[in-house]
A and B are shown apart, each in its own frame.
Chain A
Amino acid sequence: MPNSKGAVRDDSRKTVSYFYDAAIGNFYYGIHHPMKPHRIRLTHSLILAYGLYRQMNVYRPRTASSLEMTRFHAHDYISFLKRVQADNEKFIGKVPSRNFNVGYSAEDCPAFEGLYKFCQLSTGGSISGALQLNTKMADIAINWAGGLHHAKKAEASGFCYVNDIVLAILELLKHHQRVLYVDIDVHHGDGVEEAFFTTDRVMTVSFHKYNGTFFPGTGHMNDIGVDRGKYYSVNVPLHDGIDDASYALIFEPVMEKVVQFYDPQAIVLQCGADSLAGDRLGCFNLSTVGHGKCVAYMKRFNRPLLLLGGGGYTIRNVARCWTNETAVALDAEISDSLPYSDYFEYYSPDYELHVRGSNQTNQNSPEYLEGVKHRVFENLRHLPFCPSVQFHPAPDDSYDMIDEYGIAIDTADPDIRIPKPVKDRIRESLVDILDREEGGALSCNRNRDVAPPICRNGLPVSSVRQAGGSKNVAPHLTLANGQPVAASKDPYAFD
C-alpha cells in the first residue's frame, strides 16, 4: 500500500481533536445582530474543502447537561435559560428576582429560538475537548463553537450565555494543577477573569482594546486579581489599529514570561477573530497570519492546548482565520487560494485565504507597548516561582517513562535487535487476542499501518493515539503509556 505522505510522520505532530455539530450553524440571534453562529459552519465548510477534516479526529460534541452547566452557573440562571423563549421571555423574565440580562430588555443577548440547545452544543464541545486533554486522547482540542468569554455566573453578557471556557477549565483543573487562559479577542475576557479572580490555579491573560468605554469596560492594567488570585490576572490594554508586528512585540514576550513564571500544565486559548482587520465590531488591524502566529506560539510550549472560538463579526474573515488556525494546529500547509466550497461566493472578490491588514493607523506607539510590557513584567515578578501547594509539579507518569525509556534505548546493546527495555514495555493489544467477532483485527489490516478501532464505550482506546503516532509500525505493538514503538523499520520484526 503506497504511503501518500512518503515518510514517517514526525512525532512532533500533535493528535488533534475537532468538535463540530452541523446544527450549530442553524441558530439565529436575530436580524441585524452581529453574532452569527453560521460562521462556524462557514469555517467547517472551508476545513472540509481544504481536506483538513480527514487529518484529525473529528467528533460530534454531545450536548452538555444542565447539571454540568451548574458547576459554574447559578441554578436559577440555567433553569431560566432552559425555559426562556422568544415568545415567553416577557413573562418568565419578570419572575426571577435577579436580572439575567437575557431577552427583550437586553439587545445584546436576545432570547432566540433554540438558545438553550445552542448553549448546550457550544459548551458540550468545550467540555469534551477538556475531557480529551485530561485523558490524553488529544494534544490539541478545537471547538470553534466555544469561547464565549463574557458570560457571568448568573448573567448573560455580550452575546454569551453560558461560559463554556470556565466549564472547560474547571474540567481541566481536575487533572492539572495550573491552567493558563489566554484571550486574543478584541474584547476583554471578563467572564473568565471574574470566575477565576480569586484563585491561583488559573491564570488569565487577556489582550484587548481598553478605553474605559469599549465593551465590556473592564480590563484595566491594574486589575491583577485579589486574595490568592492576586497577580494571577494579567490584562494588556491596547489602543486601536494594532498591527501584526506590534502585536507580536507584546504578545510573544508576555506569553514567554507568563509561561516561564507560571509553568501551566494546560493552556486554553480563546481565538476571538474580532481582532482581525475589518471586523464589524473590532478595531484592531491584525491579519490572519498575525492572528495565527499567536496560536503557533502557544502551540510551541507543548502543553495540552484547547483552542476555542470567540468573537468575530465579519464572518467570511472569521472562517478564513479559524481555518488557517486549524491548519496551524495540524502543521498542515494550505494554499492561499481558496478551494471550492458551498459558500465560495462569500469570499469574493479575491477568493484568498488570508486577510491582510488595512492601512488603519496604529495608535500603539512602541513606547506605549514597552511601558505596558514593563508593567506586566513588574506584576509577574510578584509570582512565587511555582504557585500553590506544590513546589514542583508532580512529574507526569508518561513523561517519566519516556525519559527512562530513552536512556535505556541509548545504552542498549546495538547487536541485539530488540533491546530488553523495549521488549519489557511491549504489551499485546486486545485487538490481537480477540477474534474478529469480538472486536479483533482484520488480518488484512496487518498489511497497513492501521490499528483497527476497538471501542470501549464507543470510543477507541489506545489505538487512536497509536494511529496518530507513527506509520510504519506494527499495529499491535503499543507501549504501556500509549506511545508507539518506533524502534524498528520492519513491521514484522516483532512477530
Chain B
Amino acid sequence: MEQADDAVRGDAAPSSSEERITANGISDAASASSLNLSGSSASDTLGNPKLSAKPALSPQLPERMTYSVGDHLFFETSPSGPFQIRRVDDFVKNGNSVDARVFVYSRKADLPFAVQKEISGFIDGDLDDSTIVPLHQLIAERNAPSPHTQRQLLDHFISSREVFLNKDDSGPVVETLPTSLIRGKCSVLHHVVGAPKHHYTEVADTFFYHRSWYIPTDLQTGEIIVDQKKQIQYDETGTWYQAAIPRLLSAEERAQYESSCTDKATLAWIPNRIPDEDILTFIQAAIAVGLMARCVSASTIASLALREELSTVSKIAGMDCSMVAAYDLLHGNNYDLARSVSALVGEGLWSKRSLLETFDDIDMSFFRIGLHETSRDLKAIHEEWLPWRSFSDLVSFYYLFKTTSYYKAFRTSKAGAKQEKGVITCVSMAAYETRSCLIRHVPEGQVCYGCYEEADTWYAWSGLARSRRQVRALCTSCWDFWKRYGCLKRPWKSPSQSFVRKNPTPLVIPTRPPSSADLPPCFSPTAPKATISVAKQLLLTHRSPPPPQAPQVWVDEVKGWVVEKSQADEEEFQFTAGDEWRLARRVAGESQYDPKQLARYPLLACGDTEQTEGYFRSCPGLVVDFYRKSKGRKKLKMEQVISRISKRPGD
C-alpha cells in the first residue's frame, strides 16, 4: 500500500497545475497571458450570433476551449477526488490571474451522512470494499443480466448525475476559484418532476438538479429543500387574479356591436387601390419634390454641416417619415394620382421635415458632449444638456444617431475602456491534458478495480476514503468516469441488501396513508430493491378520497414517465407470502384459491391468516392429497413439504 502511495504522482497544489497550462506552449509564465480574456462589450457577446460565432480561438491552437459566464464547468480542487461542478457567475481579475466567482453544486457524496441516508437510504460507499457491489456478482450477471441488477445499475448512474445547488439565507452559495482549475464544460439541467431521469445518463457530462442543499449560515447541518415552484394564482370568485369573461353576444347584439363600433383606429392605408408602379413613382416624385424643396429653402435645415452635403440632404428627403407622409398624401387624396401629384407642388413645394433636420449644430454638439459625460443616459442628457428639446424627440434622435460612424467610434472607445476596467465575460484556455494520480509500476496481472479489465495506464484510486486510505488501480476509462461522475461503473452496495426477512404478518389495507411505522417489516417503504426477485411487488394506490387539489396518480410504464406523486404515494410496498400461505396457495383447489378472481379486487387483502386457516380447515387432507397426486408414489410428510417449499426462492 505504501508503495502505491509513493507511486502516485499527485499534484494537489493549484500552482503546479497553473504551470502545466503555461507549459502547454504559452511562453509567458504569468497565467493571465495563458488566458485569452475577451472582455467584450454587451453588443459583441449578446448580439448577433453571426458576430459572436466568430472563432475566438486561433486556428493554430484548436485545443483551446472558451468558457464564458453562465457555463457549467468542472473544477479540479483535489487531484484524487472527482471534479467539482460549478456555474460561473462572474470572472474577476486577481493580479495577473483570473478568478471565477461560481455557484456551488454538491454531489450526493458531498453531503453529510445523515442527509445521504435520508435521500437514498444509504451512504455512498466510502468505508471499505464491502460498500461496493462485489464484482463477481456483476460479472456473473453480465451475460444474463437480471432486470433487477440492471435496475440497480441504472439507479446508481442516475444518482451519480443528481446534484444539489447549495444555498444559504442570501441565495446560492458563491465561491471564488482560480480559473486554472477549470477542467472542462458540463451541463446541469433543471429536472422537471415527472420527466424520465434516465435520459440524463445517456448524454456525457450531463447532470440534473431539482432539489437544493440549504445551509443555514450559523449551523453546521443543513437540509434538502425542494424549490417551491411558483404557481399561477387564482381564487374561487375570480376577483383578484382572473379576468371576468364576457358573454357571447347574440345575433342582434352583434349587429348592434358592429354598427356602434365608432372608436376604431384611424385608417392610414388601403392596399391594392392603385397599382404598385404608380405608388413607387409617386413616392419617388414625393422624395424628389422634398429634395427640391429642401434645396430651394436650405434655411429649413438647421445644421450648417448638413446643408453642405447634398447627399445627406437627399438621404433625409428619402427617410421613412417622408415615405409615410407620401403614403398619407395618396390616401388622403383618395388614391387619385393626379390630385396627389398636384398636392405635391400645389401650394409651394411639399416636404416633410424629419426630426434630424430640426437638430442644429449646437444641439448636436451638446448631445455628443452629453453622450460622453453621462455614458448614454438619455434622461441625464435631457435634463442637463438639452432641456429645451422634448424627451421623445431626444429618444428618436438618439436612435438615429446610433447609425452614424461617430457613434460607432464612441462605442468602440467605450468598449475598450470597459475591457481595461477588467470586465471579463469569457476566458479561453488550453484544453486540459495531463492527469494526476498516475501509477508508474503495477504488478503483473493487475486488473482494473472498476471493471476488472486489463489496461496500460493506471490511476490510483482511493475512493471516497475518509477513514482509511486504501489505494486501488483503475483503468483510464474508469478513472475518467470517477473524475466526472464521482463513482465507479458499479453501484455502491446499499446496506439494506443484508436485510433479513422475517415472517410476515398479514397485510392490512391502511385506511389512512401509511407511514413506515405502522407497517410490518417486510412492507417497510424502505424495503430494498434487492429483494424484489423473491417477492411479489405490490403498488398500492389509495382509494380514500384524495385531499382537494391532490396530484393525480398514474404510472405510464411504456414511456417511463411517472406523474408527480404525493409523498405518501411514492413509497413502494412488497408482499412476501408466509410459508403457510404459500403452501395453501399451492395446494388449494381452484375453488378456494383463484388468482384471476383475486386480481379483480386489488385492494382486498389476500393471504391473511384467517383465509389460510380456512383452507386447511375445509380440507384437512389437502396437502397430502395434492402431493400424492402430483408426485405419484412418493410419500411425503408435512414437514418435508414445508421445508422444501420454504427452501425455494419463490413461487
A interface residues, Cβ below 8 angstroms from B: 1-5, 9, 19, 22-23, 25-28, 30-31, 38, 41-42, 44-45, 48-49, 51, 53-62, 71-72, 86, 113-114, 124-125, 128, 131-132, 134-135, 152-154, 166, 170, 173-177, 190, 193-199, 201-202, 210-213, 216-218, 220-223, 226, 233, 237, 239, 277-280, 314, 316-317, 341-346, 349-350, 355-361, 363, 365, 367-368, 370-372, 374-375, 378, 442, 448-450, 452-453, 457-460, 464, 467-468, 471
Chain B 103-147 interface 0/1 with A at a Cβ cutoff of 8 Å (1 = within): 000000000000000000000000000000000000000000000
Distance of A174 Cα from B335 Cα, bound (Å): 35
Most buried by A among B192, B400, B408: B192
The interface residues of chain A lying within 8 Å CB-to-CB of B2 are none
Contact, CB under 8 Å: A131 / B261: yes
The CA-CA distance from A27 to B323 in the complex, in Å, is 22
Bound complex: CA A124 to CA B264 (Å): 9
Q: A57-B270, A278-B46, A342-B319 are in contact. Are A4 and B276 (CB under 8 A)?
A: yes
Given contacts A153-B243, A280-B47, A358-B53, 9 further A-B pairs with CB under 8 A are A4-B277, A19-B265, A25-B395, A48-B323, A86-B379, A211-B189, A359-B53, A449-B272, A467-B270
Give the complex CA separation of A392 and B48 in angstroms. 48
Residues of A within 8 A of B196 (CB): 367, 371
Which of B243, B248, B268 is within 8 Å of A60, CB to CB?
B268
Q: Which residue of B lies closest to A117 (CB)?
A: B392
Contact of A30 among B47, B270, B319, B379 (CB under 8 A): B379
Tell me if B202 is interfacial: C-beta within 8 Å of chain A: yes
For B267, the chain A residues whose CB sits under 8 A away are 57-59, 458-460
How far does the Cβ of A20 sit from chain B's closest Cβ, in whole Å?
8
Contacts of A166 in B (CB 8 A): 243
Known: A153-B242, A218-B231. A450 touches B273 (CB 8 A): yes
Q: A378 — which chain B residues lie within 8 A by C-beta? A: 556
The answer to whether B621 has its CB under 8 Å from any CB of chain A is no
Q: CB-defined interface of B294-331 with A at 8 Å, one 1/0 digit per residue?
A: 00000000000000000000000001110110010000
Q: How far apart are the CA atoms of A55 and B202 in the complex, in Å?
A: 51
Pair B202/A467 contact, Cβ less than 8 Å: no
Closest A residue to B227 by beta carbon equals A212
Chain A residues with CB below 8 A from B293, complex form:
none
Q: How far is the CA of A210 from the CA of B210 in the complex (A)?
A: 12
Q: How far is the CA of A134 from the CA of B249 in the complex (A)?
A: 11
Residues on B with C-beta less than 8 A from A278 are 46-49, 52
Q: Does B376 contact A (CB under 8 A)?
A: yes
Instruction: Name the B residues within 8 Å of A342 (CB-CB).
Output: 319-320, 400, 403
Taking CB atoms, residues of chain B closer than 8 Å to A51 are 276
CA distance A217 to B631 in the complex (A): 68
Contact of A448 with B47 in the complex, beta carbons under 8 Å: no
Residue picked from A175, A176, A237, A349, most chain B C-beta under 10 Å:
A175
Does B234 lie at the interface of the complex (its beta carbon under 8 Å from any beta carbon of A)? yes
Q: Are A135 and B52 in contact (CB under 8 A)?
A: no
The residue among A56, A170, A345, A371 with the most chain B CB atoms within 10 A of its own CB is A371
Give 9 closest A-B pairs by Cβ, nearest first: A211-B190, A26-B392, A358-B49, A58-B269, A217-B230, A59-B265, A345-B403, A278-B49, A195-B243
Chain A residues, Cβ within 8 Å of B192: 210, 220-221, 237
Is B391 within 8 A of A28, CB to CB? Answer: yes
- Which of B189, B199, B319 meets A367, CB within 8 Å? B199
Give the docked Cα–Cα distance between A314 and B47 (Å).
Answer: 6
Q: How far is the CB of B557 from chain A (nearest CB, A)?
A: 13
User: Does the CB pair A375–B275 fall under 8 Å?
Assistant: no
Per the 8 Å Cβ criterion, residues 251-272 of B in contact with A are 254, 257-258, 261-272
Given contacts A135-B258, A212-B190, A342-B319, contact A464 B395 (CB under 8 A): no
Choose among A9, A128, A223, A277 the residue that contacts B49 (Cβ–Cβ < 8 A).
Answer: A277
Is B271 in contact with A467, judged by CB distance below 8 angstroms? yes
Main secondary structure of the interface of B (DSSP, over half): loop
B202 / chain A contacts, CB cutoff of 8 Å? 365, 367
| A453 contacts B277, C-beta separation under 8 Å | no
Given contacts A193-B232, A223-B231, contact A355 B49 (CB under 8 A): yes
Tell me the complex Cα distance, A368–B194, Å.
11
B231-A3 in contact (CB<8A): no
B245: A residues at CB distance < 8 A:
170, 173, 196, 199, 201-202
CB of A350 within 8 A of CB of B327, answer: no
With contact pairs A218-B230, A277-B49, A356-B50 given, residues A170 and B243 touching in the complex (Cβ less than 8 Å): yes
Chain B residues near A26 (CB, 8 Å)? 391-393, 395-396
**B586: CB under 8 A from chain A?**
no
Interface string of B543-558 (1 = CB under 8 A from A): 0000001010000100
Given the known inter-chain contacts A55-B271, A194-B233, please indicate yes or no for A125 contacting B246, CB distance below 8 A: no
A471 to B195, CA, bound (A): 55
Residues of B within 8 A of A53 (CB): 269, 323-324, 327
Question: What separation, in Å, do the CA atoms of A174 and B408 have in the docked complex?
Answer: 51
**B238 contacts partner chain A, Cβ-Cβ < 8 Å:** yes
- Cα(A42)–Cα(B400), bound, Å: 10
The answer to whether B276 and A54 touch across the interface, beta carbons within 8 angstroms, is yes
Find chain A residues with CB under 8 A from B243 CB: 71-72, 153, 166, 170, 195-196
CB distance from A103 to the nearest CB of B (A): 15
Bound together, the chains give a CA A119 to CA B210 distance in angstroms of 38
Do residues A27 and B392 form an inter-chain contact, with CB atoms below 8 A?
yes
B378 / chain A contacts, CB cutoff of 8 Å: 28, 31
Q: Which of B11-31 contact A (CB under 8 A)?
A: none
Contact sample, A vs B, 9 pairs, CB 8 Å cutoff: A25-B399, A26-B392, A57-B269, A128-B264, A195-B242, A279-B46, A343-B400, A367-B199, A442-B336
> A28 to chain B: which residues have CB within 8 Å?
378-379, 391, 395
Residues of B within 8 A of A442 (CB): 334, 336
Contacts known (A59-B266, A173-B246, A341-B320); A220 close to B229, Cβ less than 8 A: yes
**CB closest chain-B residue, reference A125:** B265
Cβ 8 A contact of A175, one of B254, B270, B279, B399: B254
In the complex, what distance in Å separates the CA atom of A341 from the CA atom of B395?
18
B240 within 8 A of A: yes
- CA–CA, A86 and B382, complex, Å: 14
Bound together, the chains give a CA A317 to CA B274 distance in angstroms of 33
Q: Note all chain B residues with C-beta closer than 8 A to A152.
A: 241
